[in-house]
């Protein structure tokens, strides 16, 4: 690899200068290192308009900190560095840099994994190498170099002795800058006004323009000086007690002056605050919901999304007896006994209690033990629960009952009952005493649909009788409507004739396959431990046979 000749640069920001230099020469910053040739310190006092070069401390600022603070002294440093191609490093320090409140002091935490070849160098040489390397690290992090560092030098000397005694087996804390901590006369304070609205619901609904949070800034009786050479005043404060969450500017506005900082709502809605994000919208997030809070929302049309998250696996996210209705509900934990959840979209990451009820259009449940009614269900593990749906998909089952038009299951163990009208598709049945039955009469939703269709057909026939006498133009329309409803009815009633049960892998024991034709005729087959082709009915002029078995019903009897 070809490197350019060494380059000498004067800079206030070493990292930026090296990055710019590398970019100009189409190389990576890691392909360069630097040495500090000279450090120039500039100061600005209350009587100065600009920063002026300051040498040898003629005004005794370094020793008289009261004078430094009273004259509002600020520091800046420029570094004359030589950027050069990297050479093999003598030292390789593994460290982190930490700061005290308001950055008034800085220190390095040095890890024993650092490479310091003290056995091949004299103690004074190692000390000077450490001092040089630490000053480079300080300069890269914009920490003042060569001033207010007496503690650092003493600590490095002590550490060098410690190193040669072979005791560097734990992390070592090395002070990098001994600044001036401001004297606080009024401590900062964070007031969470919206907490007052949480009451038993654990959530806060706020209006537009409402004060959510108030941060009262600290007041300093005496200023300080930080590790970057800046004066620590009321305006500088690091606001360590202020909110650290990401603020959504679309829903929350911030009003700030020298004394305080106000967070106000820009819209009406529910407050979300989890110490990472702070925003307002129509989605509710909670840690748990108990029966006394079941009035959270009662109207599905409220367009609210409820998310309830409980990290403690021994505690139910939805407590006993809760009734919750919303457009979307997401439960991160478990659902307690005698609870009722109703939603368009329902997701439960935990388990449902055997005495719980869920109603949804679309349901996604991790472990199901309760009673579910929905249009489409997706269940990871069915543990004795009951499911009523149009379409059901289950990854694995340990008993339970399913009523649906179409069912797909990955792995069935024991004591599962599946009642379907169109199809049952299973990858593996490893246990016994399972029932797979095709019979629309066993499915309550289809019975309800048939009752509805019969009523609609009867109403249309009554209307048709009147149309034949008075409004002939409506007759074709009514007949067409009756025909379509009858087609829907016959599709359900005759569903067994086109239904299919498929079990992909060999069965391991005794299970029951049943196709019900009408109230009297039924074909039943007990399986053996072997592989079967799909089960389905074939009708001829004389009989109906259940394939791939020899079970049949005569049509002439």
Report the share of the chain in percent with pLDDT over 90: 56
pLDDT at 416: 96
Span 171-192, average pLDDT: 88
Q: Give the pLDDT band of residue 93 (cuts 50, 70, 90).
A: very high
Q: Give the pLDDT band of residue 344 (cuts 50, 70, 90).
A: confident
pLDDT at 236: 62
Q: In this predicted model, which residue has the larger pLDDT, 327 or 159?
A: 159
SS3 state of residue 413: coil
Span 119-138, average pLDDT: 94
Which residues are paired to 7 by β-bridges? 83
Mean model confidence pLDDT for the chain: 87
CA distance 91 to 89: 5
Q: Quick check: 291 pLDDT over 50?
A: no
pLDDT per residue over 208-256, tens digit each? 899 999 998 888 778 889 999 999 887 665 566 788 888 999 999 999 9
Q: Quick check: 200 pLDDT over 60?
A: no
pLDDT at 138: 95
DSSP state of 466: H
CA distance 448 to 373: 14
Q: What angle do CA 327, 331, 334 make, to 5 degrees?
A: 140
pLDDT at 232: 86
pLDDT per residue over 418-468, tens digit each? 999 999 999 999 999 999 999 999 999 899 999 999 999 999 999 999 888
CA distance 85 to 101: 38
**Range from 130-144, 282-296, 371-385 carrying the lowest mean pLDDT:** 282-296
Among residues 174, 250, 247, which one has the least CA distance to residue 215?
247
Report the share of the chain in percent with pLDDT over 70: 90
Q: Quick check: 472 pLDDT over 60?
A: yes
Q: In this predicted model, which residue has the larger pLDDT, 123 or 203?
A: 123
**Structure token digits, residue 530:** 């072997």
DSSP state of 448: H
CA distance 320 to 336: 5
Among residues 207, 8, 175, 39, which one has the least CA distance to residue 106?
175
pLDDT at 293: 45
Q: In this predicted model, which residue has the larger pLDDT, 90 or 241?
A: 90
Question: Tokens 């040739």 belong to which residue?
Answer: 37
Which residues are paired to 351 by β-bridges? 367
Highest mean pLDDT among 160-164, 187-191, 553-557: 160-164
pLDDT per residue over 504-520, tens digit each? 999 988 999 999 988 77
**Range from 86-95, 254-263, 363-372, 453-462 carrying the lowest mean pLDDT:** 86-95
pLDDT at 394: 97
pLDDT per residue over 495-554, tens digit each? 999 999 999 999 988 999 999 988 778 999 999 999 999 999 998 888 999 999 989 988
CB of 75 closer than 8 Å to CB of 22: no
Q: Give the pLDDT band of residue 365 (cuts 50, 70, 90).
A: very high
CA distance 115 to 106: 22
Q: In this predicted model, which residue has the larger pLDDT, 413 or 314?
A: 413
CB of 146 closer than 8 Å to CB of 132: no
Per-residue H/E/C for 244-285: CCEECCCCEEEEECCCEEEEEECCCEEEEECCCEEEEECEEE
Pairing of strands 33-44, 74-84: antiparallel
Q: What angle do CA 406, 410, 416 make, to 5 degrees?
A: 70
pLDDT at 85: 79
pLDDT at 300: 40
Highest mean pLDDT among 85-94, 291-300, 439-448: 439-448
Span 388-414, average pLDDT: 96
**Range from 274-288, 431-445, 470-484 carrying the lowest mean pLDDT:** 274-288
Which residues are paired to 400 by β-bridges? 416
Task: Give every CB contact of residue 434 below 8 A, 6+ residues apart in sequence.
Answer: 412, 414, 415, 416, 417, 418, 511, 512
Q: Quick check: 288 pLDDT over 60?
A: no
pLDDT at 235: 66
């Amino acid at each position: 690899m070809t490197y350019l000749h060494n380059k000498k640069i004067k800079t206030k920001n070493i990292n930026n200068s090296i990055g710019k230099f590398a970019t100009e020469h189409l190389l990576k910053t890691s392909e360069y290192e630097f040495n500090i040739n000279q450090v120039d310190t500039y100061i600005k006092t209350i009587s100065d308009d600009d920063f002026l070069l300051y040498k040898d401390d003629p005004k005794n600022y370094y020793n008289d900190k009261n004078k430094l603070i009273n004259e509002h002294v600020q520091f800046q440093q420029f570094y004359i560095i030589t950027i050069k191609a990297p050479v093999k490093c003598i030292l390789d320090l593994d460290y982190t840099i930490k700061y005290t409140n308001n950055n008034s002091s800085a220190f390095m935490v040095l890890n024993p994994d650092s490479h310091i070849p003290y056995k091949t160098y004299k103690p004074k040489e190692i000390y000077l190498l450490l001092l040089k390397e630490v000053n480079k690290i300080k300069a890269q992090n914009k920490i003042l170099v060569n001033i207010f560092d007496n503690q650092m030098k003493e600590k490095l000397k002590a550490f060098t002795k410690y190193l040669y005694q072979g005791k560097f087996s734990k992390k070592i804390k090395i002070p990098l800058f001994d600044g001036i901590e401001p004297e606080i006369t009024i401590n900062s304070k964070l007031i969470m006004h919206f907490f007052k609205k949480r009451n038993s619901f654990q959530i806060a609904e706020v209006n537009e323009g409402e004060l959510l949070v108030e941060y009262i800034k600290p007041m300093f009786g005496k200023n300080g000086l930080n590790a970057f050479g800046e004066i620590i005043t009321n305006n500088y404060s690091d606001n360590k007690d202020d909110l650290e969450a990401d603020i959504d500017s679309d829903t929350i506005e911030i009003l700030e002056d020298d004394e305080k900082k106000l967070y106000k709502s820009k819209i009406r809605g529910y407050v979300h605050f989890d110490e990472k994000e702070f925003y307002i919208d129509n989605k509710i997030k909670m840690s748990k919901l108990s029966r006394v809070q079941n009035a959270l929302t009662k109207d599905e049309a409220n367009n609210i999304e409820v998310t309830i998250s409980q990290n403690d696996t021994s505690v139910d996210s939805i407590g006993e007896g809760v009734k919750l209705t919303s457009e979307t509900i997401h439960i991160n934990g478990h659902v307690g006994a005698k609870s009722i959840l109703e939603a368009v979209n329902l997701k439960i990451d935990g388990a449902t209690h055997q005495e719980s009820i869920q109603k949804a259009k679309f349901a996604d449940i991790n472990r199901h033990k309760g009673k579910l009614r929905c249009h489409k269900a997706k269940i990871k593990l069915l543990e004795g629960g009951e499911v009523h749906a149009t379409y059901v998909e289950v990854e694995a089952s340990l008993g339970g009952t399913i009523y649906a038009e179409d069912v797909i299951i990955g792995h069935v163990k024991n004591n599962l009952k599946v009642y379907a009208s169109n199809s049952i598709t299973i990858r593996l049945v490893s246990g016994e005493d399972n029932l797979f039955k095709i019979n629309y009469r066993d499915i309550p939703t289809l019975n309800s649909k048939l009752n509805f269709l019969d009523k609609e057909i009867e109403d249309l026939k009554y209307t048709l009788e009147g149309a034949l006498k008075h409004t002939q133009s409506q007759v074709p329309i009514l007949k067409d409507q009756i025909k379509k409803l009858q087609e829907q009815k016959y599709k359900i009633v005759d569903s067994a004739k086109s239904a299919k049960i498929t079990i992909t892998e060999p069965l391991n024991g005794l299970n029951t396959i049943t196709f019900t034709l009408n109230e009297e005729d039924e074909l039943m087959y007990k399986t053996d431990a072997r592989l079967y082709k799909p089960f389905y009915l074939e009708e001829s002029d004389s009989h109906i046979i259940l394939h791939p078995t020899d079970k049949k019903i005569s049509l002439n009897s």
